[in-house]
């Protein structure tokens, strides 16, 4: 039991961890994608604006000369602060001509493309991060256009923080859902496990708990309960059967013991001894017969012999069995009548013969004189029915289902040769043939019917 718990816990932890790792990875990937995409699109927008400005200003220089360019820059400066825009125009000696930067950044050659740097602003003397592009003009002047990257860096930081928070929340959520989910699963599973443990320790009436939610757990539990019902039924049958076996064998065996004991009685004549021996022998025969029938029943119930199935012509089989029993029936003043037809089915010929002969013997035992016992063959969907009907007193309605149980005889004067196993064997044989045994009252008489599957 401890092992069971332990392994539950182990696999529970593993499951939570796996679900956490998986969902966190997923969230992280999504967020990283958002971050990178946002960053890139802002950057490319900045660049396209900056290069457009740079190209436009260079055009101005070509069309209106240096003065025109300086004016154009002067025009832009008042709004530059709002736009985070930075400009610097120097002459060929590096002297500032226009713009809001203090001086040309060191180590940056004009026309070297896109650069990120820190420069000091001319207006407020602040050192600011800048993304910029520059160009060397035909007259040797250098023009730099840039954007203050501070705002973007701040946005970047905000974005990163949001991503971090989102990731943390996602992680927490995944831990929570994982824990809740596994708690749900394992609480249901441990309910089932504890019910199973109870059953293992002998309480066969215990059932899996149902929560009435109709979910998969309820469905599985329902199926398990059906299985348990069947097992309980079988076990209880088995118990009844073994009790009956014990009872049924005890009586002949104790009679046998008495007979053997009296054999040594010196007052007995040889003739009396002979009679005792014959009776003892008959008791032994009875015991052997019961054991043989029980073996046959359990084998048929287990389906042993199915590999010997062959096409069986039931009409021929019925005709043969009827031929065997007809003289006995005539002696008893009973008429045997065969009706109906059926096509061949896959089956175990010897066992089917035995089933029919058991049914016939049973019917003839209860059939009154000058009546007919009818053997009927019919087909009904997937089954072929073989029924034997007598015109006797029938069976009390409530006893019908008990007929096929081993050791059940409704005849209070159970005879030596009738241990109540005949119909149990018939039922086992019909189960072996994918069918069932049914008994019904026909008023007058009992109809005992075996259903046999027409296809294997």
Site of interaction with other proteins (CB under 8 A): 284, 288-289, 292, 295-296, 299, 304-305, 308, 320, 323-325, 327-328, 331, 348, 350-351, 353-354, 357-358, 361, 364, 417-418, 422
Residue number, 184 or 410, with CB nearest to other proteins: 410
Q: How far is the CB of 305 from other proteins (least distance, A)?
A: 4
Q: Using CA atoms, how far apart are residues 101 and 181, in angstroms rounded to an integer?
A: 61
Q: How far is the CB of 417 from other proteins (least distance, A)?
A: 5
Q: How far is the CB of 295 from other proteins (least distance, A)?
A: 6
Residue number, 151 or 284, with CB nearest to other proteins: 284
Q: How far is the CB of 336 from other proteins (least distance, A)?
A: 13
Q: How far is the CB of 353 from other proteins (least distance, A)?
A: 6
Q: How far is the CB of 334 from other proteins (least distance, A)?
A: 12
SS3 letters for the chain?
A: CHHHHHHHHHHHHHHHHHHHHHHHHHHHHHHHHHHHHHHHHHHHHHHHHHHHHHHHHHHHHHHHHHHHHHHHHHHHHHHHHHHCEEEEEECCCCCEEEECECCCCCCCCCCCCCEEEEEEECCCCCEEEEEEEEEECCCCCEEEEEEECHHHHHHHHHHHHHHHHHHHHHHHHHHHHHHHHHHHHHHHHHHHHHHHHHHHCCCCCCCCCCCCCCCHHHHHHHHHHHHHHHHHHHHHHHHHHHHHHHHHHHHHHHHHHHHHHHHCCCCCCHHHHHHHHHHHHHHHHHHHHHHHHHHHHHHHHCCCCHHHCEEECHHHHHHHHHHHHHHHHHHCCEEEEEEECCCCEEECHHHHHHHHHHHHHHHHHHCCCCEEEEEEEEEECCEEEEEEECCCCCCCHHHHHHCCCCCCCCCCCCCCCCCCCHHHHHHHHHHHCCCEEEEEECCCCEEEEEEEECCC
Task: Classify residue 288 as exposed, middle or buried by CB count within 10 Å of its CB (0-12, 13-18, 19+).
Answer: exposed
Q: How far is the CB of 316 from other proteins (least distance, A)?
A: 12
Residue number, 209 or 305, with CB nearest to other proteins: 305
Residue number, 36 or 275, with CB nearest to other proteins: 275
Residue number, 221 or 358, with CB nearest to other proteins: 358
What is the distance in angstroms between the CA of the first residue and the CA of the last residue of the chain?
44
Residue number, 325 or 407, with CB nearest to other proteins: 325
Q: Max Cα separation, the chain?
A: 158
Residue number, 105 or 347, with CB nearest to other proteins: 347
Q: How far is the CB of 289 from other proteins (least distance, A)?
A: 7
Residue number, 137 or 360, with CB nearest to other proteins: 360
Q: How far is the CB of 362 from other proteins (least distance, A)?
A: 9
Residue number, 114 or 309, with CB nearest to other proteins: 309
Q: How far is the CB of 265 from other proteins (least distance, A)?
A: 23
Residue number, 104 or 407, with CB nearest to other proteins: 407
- Both tokens of 169, joined, read 């929340």
């Amino acid at each position: 039991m401890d092992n069971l718990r332990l392994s539950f816990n182990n696999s529970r932890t593993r499951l939570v961890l796996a679900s956490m790792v998986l969902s966190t990875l997923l969230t992280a990937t999504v967020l990283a994608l958002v971050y990178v995409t946002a960053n890139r699109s802002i950057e490319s927008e900045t660049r396209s604006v900056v290069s457009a400005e740079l190209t436009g200003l260079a055009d101005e220089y070509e069309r209106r000369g240096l003065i025109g360019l300086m004016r154009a820059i002067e025009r832009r400066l008042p709004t530059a602060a709002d736009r985070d825009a930075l400009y610097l125009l120097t002459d060929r000696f590096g002297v500032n001509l226009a713009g809001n930067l203090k001086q040309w950044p060191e180590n940056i050659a004009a026309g070297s493309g896109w650069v990120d740097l820190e420069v000091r602003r001319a207006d407020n003397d602040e050192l600011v991060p800048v993304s910029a592009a520059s160009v060397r003009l035909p007259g040797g002047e250098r023009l730099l256009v840039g954007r203050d990257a501070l705002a973007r860096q701040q946005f970047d930081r905000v974005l990163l923080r949001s991503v971090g928070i989102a990731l943390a929340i996602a992680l927490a959520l995944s831990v929570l859902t994982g824990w809740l989910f596994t708690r749900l699963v394992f609480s249901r599973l441990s309910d089932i496990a504890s019910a199973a443990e109870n059953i293992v320790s002998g309480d066969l009436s215990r059932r899996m708990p149902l929560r009435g939610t109709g979910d998969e757990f309820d469905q599985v539990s329902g199926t398990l309960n059906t299985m348990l019902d069947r097992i309980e039924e079988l076990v209880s049958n088995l118990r009844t059967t073994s009790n009956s076996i014990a009872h049924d064998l005890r009586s002949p065996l104790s009679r046998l013991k008495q007979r053997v004991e009296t054999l040594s009685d010196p007052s007995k004549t040889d003739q009396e001894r002979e009679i005792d021996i014959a009776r003892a022998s008959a008791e032994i025969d009875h015991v052997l017969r019961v054991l043989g029938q029980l073996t046959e029943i359990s084998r048929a119930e287990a389906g042993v012999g199915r590999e010997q199935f062959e096409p069986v012509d039931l009409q021929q089989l019925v005709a043969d069995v009827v031929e065997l029993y007809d003289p006995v029936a005539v002696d008893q003043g009973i008429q045997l009548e065969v009706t109906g037809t059926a096509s061949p089915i896959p089956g175990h010929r010897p066992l089917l013969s035995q089933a029919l002969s058991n049914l016939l013997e049973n019917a003839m035992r209860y059939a009154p004189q000058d009546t007919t016992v009818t053997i009927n063959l019919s087909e009904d969907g997937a089954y072929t029915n073989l029924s034997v009907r007598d015109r006797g007193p029938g069976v009390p309605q409530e006893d019908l289902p008990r007929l096929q149980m081993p050791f059940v005889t409704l005849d209070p004067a159970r005879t030596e040769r009738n241990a109540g196993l005949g119909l149990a064997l018939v039922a086992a044989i019909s189960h072996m043939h994918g069918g069932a045994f049914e008994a019904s009252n026909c008023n007058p008489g009992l109809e005992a019917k075996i259903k046999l599957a027409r296809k294997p």
